[in-house]
Amino acid sequence: MWFALFTVIHVTLVFTTGLLRNLNHLYAARGGDSWIGFGVFTASMVVVVVGWVAATPFTLQHPRVVQRLGHALIGPAQRLFEHVDATPGEYTEKDVSPYFWHNGQYPDSAEYRALFDGDFADYRLQIGGLVDNPVALDLRQLRAMPHHEQITQHFCIQGWSGIAKWGGVSMRTITDLVRPQPGAKWVVFYSLGDGPDKGRYYDAHPIEQMNHHLTMLAYDMNGEPLSYGHGAPLRLRNEVQLGFKQVKWISGIEFVADFTEIGGGHGGYNEDHEFFGYRQSI
């Protein structure tokens, strides 16, 4: 909205402070008060309007095609800049947010309720797919692994953020345990909860990001076990990605060659139901 307002003000100023002279400068690379710049400007606006009118029906009828085209145009640059800041910021305990927003569709299945009521004694994290050593880990086994802790900032696509101290297991430890095969390119995290339109919530992450020192499975938040609203018993923290990709209430992890046959094939629940990108780096 601010950008639209800026555009209106900018065009108004161009038109009210010497229209012909300004358009000659902008469109004809010349001075004076001739109509050449105005003519080029008018022709360019006709091209813009015709292109918009022609493109709108196609955009509405084939939004996924437009999304894929856009990704083809900007994807290489996006992947390049993913590695510009390889060390997201870490904070101190005094920076921890006094309130950290609850977000997402809470799990309400009988399966989850039974696990929650039993203090997750029967919980098993299933890890499989293209790995040499598939495992099923309970919380006791996860807590027995080398402990990892970090204080990092969560960035939600809705515009809010929060800082928390996370405790759990580094994904480096998990990958060392299960030994992914060379064909594994993506890691898919499945939730015990559904998305808002029903259907299992999941999200795919590039396998190279699993070796980042701030990618982890968290079972503690601010020194306490995860609460129901924050993803108990286990949630993902991949600090180079936006918040909707931090899967909560994790039930399983699958190493795959690609994600086109999972869910709607777009790399995650939100990616399937909306037009989020499957790589949403901060």
Average pLDDT, the chain: 93
Q: Is the pLDDT of residue 103 over 90?
A: no
pLDDT band at 92 (very low <50, low <70, confident <90, very high): very high
Tokens read off for 10: 């900018």
Q: Is the pLDDT of residue 86 over 60?
A: no
Tokens read off for 42: 């008018």
Q: Please tell me the distance from the alpha carbon of residue 41 to that of residue 91, in angstroms, as a whole number.
A: 51
Question: Residue 280: what pLDDT?
Answer: 73
Question: Residue 43: what pLDDT?
Answer: 97
HSE, side-chain direction, 13 A CA sphere, residue 91: 16
Give the residue-averaged pLDDT of 244-263: 97
For the 93-273 domain, the top CATH level (class) is alpha beta
Q: Is the pLDDT of residue 282 over 80?
A: no
Domain residue ranges of the chain, discontinuous segments joined by +: 2-61, 93-273
Give the residue-averaged pLDDT of 164-168: 97
pLDDT band at 78 (very low <50, low <70, confident <90, very high): confident
Q: Is the pLDDT of residue 115 over 60?
A: yes
Tokens read off for 111: 């399966």
Question: Residue 80: what pLDDT?
Answer: 78
Q: Is the pLDDT of residue 281 over 60?
A: yes
Question: Residue 273: what pLDDT?
Answer: 93
Q: Is the pLDDT of residue 18 over 70?
A: yes
pLDDT digits 0-9 by tens, 192-246: 999 999 999 999 999 999 999 999 999 999 999 999 999 999 999 999 899 999 9
175 burial type by CB count under 10 A (0-12 exposed, 13-18 middle, 19+ buried)? buried
Question: Residue 8: what pLDDT?
Answer: 96
Question: Residue 229: what pLDDT?
Answer: 96
Residue carrying structure tokens 């009210």: 16
| C-alpha of 270 from chain center | 9
pLDDT band at 84 (very low <50, low <70, confident <90, very high): low
